[in-house]
Amino acid sequence: MYCSGMSRRAGGRAARVAKRAAPPAFNPVVPGLPGGAYKPLTDSDMQSIYETALYLLEDLGMGLAITEFTDVVTAAGGWLDDDGRLHYPRGIVEAAVDTAAKEFIWHALDESKSIEVSANKVHFGTGGAAVSMLDHETNRFRHSTLQDLHDITRLYDNLEHIHFFMRPVVARELEDPYQLDINTAYALITGTTKPVGSAFFDADAVGDVVEMCDLILGGPGEFKKRPFMLANNTFVVPPLRFAEESVEVMVAQVRAGMPVCLLSAGQAGATSPAALAGSLAQALAECLAALTSINLIAPGHPCVMGLWPFVSDLRTGAMSGGSGEEAVMNAAAAQLANWLGLPSGVAAGMSDSKLPDMQAGHEKALTVALAAHSGANLIYESAGMLASILAFSLEAMVIDNDMLGSINRTIRGIEVTAETLSADVVKQVVEGAGHFLGSDQTLEMMQTEYIYPEIGDRLSPDDWVDAGALSARDRAHEYVKDVLNTPRAPHIDPSVDQAIRDRFPIQLAT
Amino acid sequence: MYCSGMSRRAGGRAARVAKRAAPPAFNPVVPGLPGGAYKPLTDSDMQSIYETALYLLEDLGMGLAITEFTDVVTAAGGWLDDDGRLHYPRGIVEAAVDTAAKEFIWHALDESKSIEVSANKVHFGTGGAAVSMLDHETNRFRHSTLQDLHDITRLYDNLEHIHFFMRPVVARELEDPYQLDINTAYALITGTTKPVGSAFFDADAVGDVVEMCDLILGGPGEFKKRPFMLANNTFVVPPLRFAEESVEVMVAQVRAGMPVCLLSAGQAGATSPAALAGSLAQALAECLAALTSINLIAPGHPCVMGLWPFVSDLRTGAMSGGSGEEAVMNAAAAQLANWLGLPSGVAAGMSDSKLPDMQAGHEKALTVALAAHSGANLIYESAGMLASILAFSLEAMVIDNDMLGSINRTIRGIEVTAETLSADVVKQVVEGAGHFLGSDQTLEMMQTEYIYPEIGDRLSPDDWVDAGALSARDRAHEYVKDVLNTPRAPHIDPSVDQAIRDRFPIQLAT
């Protein structure tokens, strides 16, 4: 039988990378398994939170709305008050919830890797805007770069249980917003054929990135037919105030046919109420304000309800991404969005730890597991993030991939059928061999019911010592080196790549 | 405001230990919060599994039943077949489920720390029979000793979120079963005033340990009134065969008034079906056989349904305690027992990792979180265990305590009331300060809604570097040294301790 510990010493890097990239004959877990077995809120809780959100939008409204929003909302029955706040009467919000896209495809360049954002289908991915990379050797942080982003993307391409990729780090050497947006998109698109997403700082870059995508897909208008990039937008400065520039960029994305995630990341106790229910109500109100405005401009445009209710450590005011409060809030946020019938995207996996250590592990698993079981369609931040999302670690990402596979196995759950109940198998064993090791059922289920970690250790203590007594982090580092040191054939046609380079200020070397 | 990172450098060890031992004014999480928001199985799934278990018990029965079981079961309508298997007709099993204790108090020497095992109240504790300790400095394993067990018990006494303590390691220097049982009990009882549990290898030791407990409580018969020790029994050699010696010991415990946990630890693919549903059905059948037999002997005796469906890595046949399959199976096991109205005790937190590293963290959190949210009354193995329960780590236990607090916070969930929905608070902030940092609600909720890790790091990256750039494991080691190097006033009256030492062969030094 195959033993991962032994295999690591056999064969070269290329063989290992090839083995890793090859899908198993049957995949016990796939993207989009249905969650929802965990319900942190009751229906009555959700109704109360929704009512509160509707009340806040009608009574207090949103500050700093852009003219385009004000125009469509007032035309639909809203009003601007003397303080310039835009009020959304409940009727137009409810109408937007009705009109809004209930599902959409987040395409991938490799269409077989596209994901369906709908119902309570669960997907794991990255997210955030970390500014630092953890250096494996020194345990210190350095500024993240465009090359880091490309490397992370390539790693993602190899990691089976990460289903979508929102750019998790900022290329800090690129200070010009347009340069940053264009190069970020290019680094993602050339690094993977799986779904990608970005965030934009320059509205002008949106159209140019779409043009880049059109070039890759074969011509103008192709991206709109098969949008394989989603855009995250932190469109709000909580409480209840639009972030004008982000909203402008978001509207450009909507016009370009790019699916958007409406991100409200209030921090409980700082920019949203310390009471968890209130923090959820405010985030829901904010996301509904954006959803309503967008649906008045472009009815049915694919929007993800990105309630990201963050938590403060109230002793210091600092963000705490790895806390239990965070875990239960984001799970509840997903449940709320799904209950409204809308695509849900929440944040989980944001450890407060600075290292890929045991604290990071338990904080990540708790937050991601609850979000997944609540049925979150898109679980952002679920791989690689450390330091309350200030930093990224390649090794953490590899370990997280194992964790995500394991969590996805629990989402798949337990199939109960006459066959799986196994009364006959038990009878045979009791009357025969006395154990199940060689039974047909066991051999059959080895590949269909069970998944196996990529770098997770399951050796005996003695074998583990013989294999070098390595930590998960050390084994992950070997994996990272293997992947990044192995040349990867480009999936973008060289002539197309040249056309992109001719047209745009691409900074990544060929 | 208070910052844990800074406080670590202020004050001496005794002050830190005292601070740690002191309960907060208000405890946002307590033992016994209600789980059940996660339902891995449907009602129909559970009915099918129960029916299969009833079928297995009636059709195949149990091998190697002791005479006492055979007597009561055949008297109640069961029968012994030609192969010596004892068959349990469904009627007597269903009657036992009716008769069985639905709840009981697991007492503590300090009565305020007793826990109520009932409904879907969730408690976290240790368990297992590890044979090794991980050495923090060398990353190697050594045999566990009686002193280790006592040290672990003392550490447990200090860790807020571990609610019960089943002896997790075996004192390997004690080869005589009676010596082992007596000294194990003494090490636990003198190490903590919180609930304790043990396992026995010698039926004669059971009565003597009860006598020891009676001495502590003030006289003969006192333990029966206030049993503060529970006994785990692996009463079965799966599939469907009693472990005769363990059953003899268990019956002695029942007669002595000691609550028992009926432990079935079949390993899917080896000693139970590889199909998860079948593994659950078999474990349920085995536990119901013991429950039925015990309830025929002592109706209503406190029994925990200890379905511990373990998982094999089917590539090697080795146990995998940290897998997703394990997580979902034990959560389902708890749901099943609770659905039958019976106390549930499952295993979670059993990492396959050999170190307190990121793999250990994510495996522990996933398994424990799902068990907890499914409403498991007693979550065994939830602290300190590594190497698929072959080894124990003091540092892992300390980190696990943080994890358990965090998970318990998610069990508490989100209270949705007019007050917590916070519409008025949001309105005040929008119309006033613009943030929630100084609001009355925030200050009030700091101690009532939020919990704070003991050694978990939430510093900024710079502050973390200034504080020594320590991993969770390093910080946990400091905590361990603090607790174990600080003398602890005995809670057993010296004259009682002397009486115990006069009566029993106690090996721990005074």
Identify the DSSP state of A113.
G
Which ranges in B413-493 belong to alpha helices (H)? 418-421, 423-431, 440-448, 461-466, 472-485
| Any domain includes B328 | yes
pLDDT tens per residue, range A274-310: 999 999 999 999 999 999 999 999 999 999 999 999 9
The string of pLDDT tens digits covering residues B199-235 is 999 999 999 999 999 999 999 999 999 999 999 999 9
* B237 token code pair: 């050699």
Mean pLDDT of B12-17: 57
Distance, CA of A259 to CA of A229 (rounded, Å): 7
User: In angstroms, rounded to a whole number, what is the distance separating the alpha carbons of residues B33 and B384?
Assistant: 22
Sorting pLDDT into bands at 50, 70 and 90, what band is B101?
very high
A460 within a domain of the structure (yes/no): no
Specify whether B222 is located in the same domain as B312.
yes
B406 and B440 in a single domain? The answer is no
Vertex B434: Cα angle to B433 and B440 (nearest 5): 55
Interface of B with A in 157-186 (CB under 8 A): none
- What integer is the mean pLDDT of B422-439? 94
| pTM score | 0.96
Answer yes or no: do A56 and A148 share one domain: yes
Pairwise CA distance, residues B345 & B121, whole Å: 11
3-state SS, residue B299? coil
Q: Give per-residue pLDDT as tens, A469-495.
A: 999 999 999 999 999 999 989 999 999
Q: Give the total number of structural domains in chain A.
A: 2
CA distance A501 to A484: 23
Residue B479 forms part of a structural domain: no
CB A402 within 8 A of CB A456: yes
User: CATH number, domain at A501?
Assistant: 3.20.20.480
Residue B432: what residue type?
G
Strand partners, B166: B197
* Distance set, CA B180 to CA A373, B144, B167, B262, B499 (Å): 43, 13, 12, 21, 19
Whether B218 and B328 share a structural domain:
yes
Indicate whether A458 belongs to any domain: no
pLDDT band at A27 (very low <50, low <70, confident <90, very high): confident
Flag whether residue B248 sits within 8 Å of chain A, measured between CB atoms.
Answer: no
> Is pLDDT at A2 greater than 50 in this prediction?
no
Q: Using CA atoms, how far apart are residues A114 and A198, in angstroms rounded to an integer?
A: 16
pLDDT, tens digit, 9 for 90 and up, residues A29-55:
999 999 999 999 999 999 999 999 999
Is A149 within 8 Å of A184 (Cβ atoms)? yes
- Which of B138, B426, B465 is the best substitution to test chain A (most A C-beta atoms within 10 A)? B426
Hey, what amino acid is at B382?
S
Task: Flag whether pLDDT at A7 surpasses 50.
Answer: no
Reduce the DSSP state of residue B148 to 3 states and report it. helix
- What type of residue is B89? P
User: DSSP state, B139?
Assistant: -
| B445 lies within 8 A of chain A by CB | yes
What sign does the CA torsion over A483, A486, A491, A493 have? positive
Residue pair A312/A318 in contact by the 8 Å Cβ criterion: yes
CB contact set of A290 (below 8 Å; sequence gap of 6+):
A233, A235, A236, A247, A250, A262, A303
Q: Please name the residues between 454 and 483 in chain A that touch chain B, using a CB distance below 8 Å.
A: 456-461, 464-465, 469, 471-473
Alpha carbon distance A202, B260 (integer Å): 66
Out of A49, A365, A417, closest to residue B416 by CB: A49
Helix B324-339 / helix A394-412 crossing angle, nearest 10 deg: 40
Spatial distance between the Cα atoms of B154 and A16, rounded to a whole number of angstroms: 46
Question: Hunting for tokens 């199940």 — which residue is that?
Answer: A436
Coil, strand or helix: which one is A106? strand
Do residues B205 and B333 both lie within one domain?
yes
Using a CB-CB cut-off of 8 Å, the residues of chain B touching A396 are: 358
Q: Residue B83, class by beta-carbon neighbours within 10 Å (0-12 exposed, 13-18 middle, 19+ buried)?
A: exposed
B360 part of contact set with chain A, CB < 8 Å: yes
How sure is the predictor about B24, in pLDDT bands with cuts at 50, 70 and 90?
low
A 302-321 → B contacts, CB under 8 A: 311, 313-318, 320
Task: Assess B452–A contact: CB distance below 8 Å, yes or no.
Answer: yes
The answer to whether residues A229 and A256 touch, using CB atoms and an 8 Å cutoff, is no
B334 contact A CB<8A: no
Q: How far is CA B87 from CA B93, B257, B324, in A?
A: 11, 27, 34
Residues B359 and B428 in one domain: no
Give the pLDDT of residue A13.
58
Residue A96 burial by Cβ neighbours in a 10 Å radius (0-12, 13-18, 19+) = buried
pLDDT in tens, B260-295: 999 999 999 999 999 999 999 999 999 999 999 999
Do the beta carbons of residue A260 and residue A303 sit within 8 Å? yes
* B404 lies within 8 A of chain A by CB: no
pLDDT of residue A356: 98
Q: What is the mean pLDDT of residues B465-475?
A: 98
Pairing of strands B33-34, A86-87: unpaired
pLDDT tens column, B146-177: 999 999 999 999 999 999 999 999 999 999 99
Strand, helix or coil for residue A487: coil
Q: Which pLDDT score, from 0 to 100, does residue B15 have?
A: 59
β-pairing, A141-143 with A132-134?
Answer: antiparallel
Residue range B323-335: mean pLDDT, rounded: 98
Q: What is the 3-state secondary structure (H, E, C) of A129-174?
A: CECEEECCCCCCEEECCHHHHHHHHHHHHHCCCCCEEECCECCCCC
Of the partner residues B140, B356, B403, the one whose CB lies closest to the CB of residue A465: B140
Residues A310 and A364 in one domain: yes
Q: Based on the fold, state whether residues B439 and B385 are members of the same structural domain.
A: no
> Residue A33, SS3?
strand
Alpha-carbon Rg for chain B, nearest whole angstrom, is: 23
Signed CA dihedral, A328, A323, B396, A135: sign only: positive
- In this structure, how many other beta carbons lie within 10 angstroms of the beta carbon of residue A169? 25
- Let me know whether B320 and B443 are in one domain: no
- DSSP 8-state code for residue B312: B
Q: Which residues contact A47 (CB under 8 A, 6 or more apart)?
A: none
Q: What angle do CA B412, B331, B298 make, to 5 degrees?
A: 100
Asked if A428 has any chain B CB less than 8 Å from its own CB, the reply is no
Please state the three-class secondary structure of B325-337 as a single string. HHHHHHHHHHHHH
Average pLDDT value for residue range A392-419: 98
A469 with B139: Cβ contact below 8 A: yes
Residue ranges of alpha helices (H) inside B30-142 are 43-59, 67-75, 90-99
A96 touches B at CB < 8 Å: no
What pLDDT was estimated at residue A8?
37
Average pLDDT on A103-107 reads: 98
For the cut 90, the answer to whether the pLDDT of residue A84 exceeds it is yes
Which residue in chain B has the smallest CA separation from A365? B362
Inside any domain, residue A457:
no
Question: What does the mean pLDDT of chain A come to?
Answer: 94
- Say yes or no: B356 and B443 in one domain: no
pLDDT at B446: 85
Q: Is residue A328 part of a domain?
A: yes
Which residues 111-150 of B have a C-beta within 8 angstroms of A?
132, 139-141
Where residue B18 falls among pLDDT bands split at 50, 70, 90?
low
Q: What is the pLDDT of residues B110-119, one digit of tens each?
A: 999 999 999 9
B251, B271: one domain: yes
| Calpha distance B312→B314 (Å, rounded) | 5
Quick check: is B366 in a domain?
yes
Q: Is there a contact between A230 and A195 (Cβ–Cβ < 8 Å)?
A: yes
pLDDT at B25 over 70: no
pLDDT for position A4: 34
Backbone phi, then psi, for B100, in 5-degree steps? -60, 150
Mean pLDDT estimate for chain B: 94
Distance CA(A362)–CA(A403), nearest Å, equals 10
Q: What would the pLDDT profile of B388-429 be if each residue is shown by its tens digit?
A: 999 999 999 999 999 999 999 999 999 999 999 999 999 999
Closest residue of B to A406, CA-based? Answer: B324
* Integer Cα distance of B389 and B353 in angstroms: 10
In a shared domain, residues B368 and B255: yes
Asked whether residue B158 is domain-assigned, the answer is yes
Q: What is the pLDDT of residues A144-191, one digit of tens each?
A: 999 999 999 999 999 999 999 999 999 999 999 999 999 999 999 999
Q: Does residue A236 register a pLDDT over 50?
A: yes
Residue A444 structural domain = 418-448
Interacting residues of A280 by C-beta distance below 8 A, sequence separation 6+: A49, A307, A309, A329, A332, A333, A336, B414
Are A356 and A399 in contact by the 8 Å Cβ rule? The answer is yes
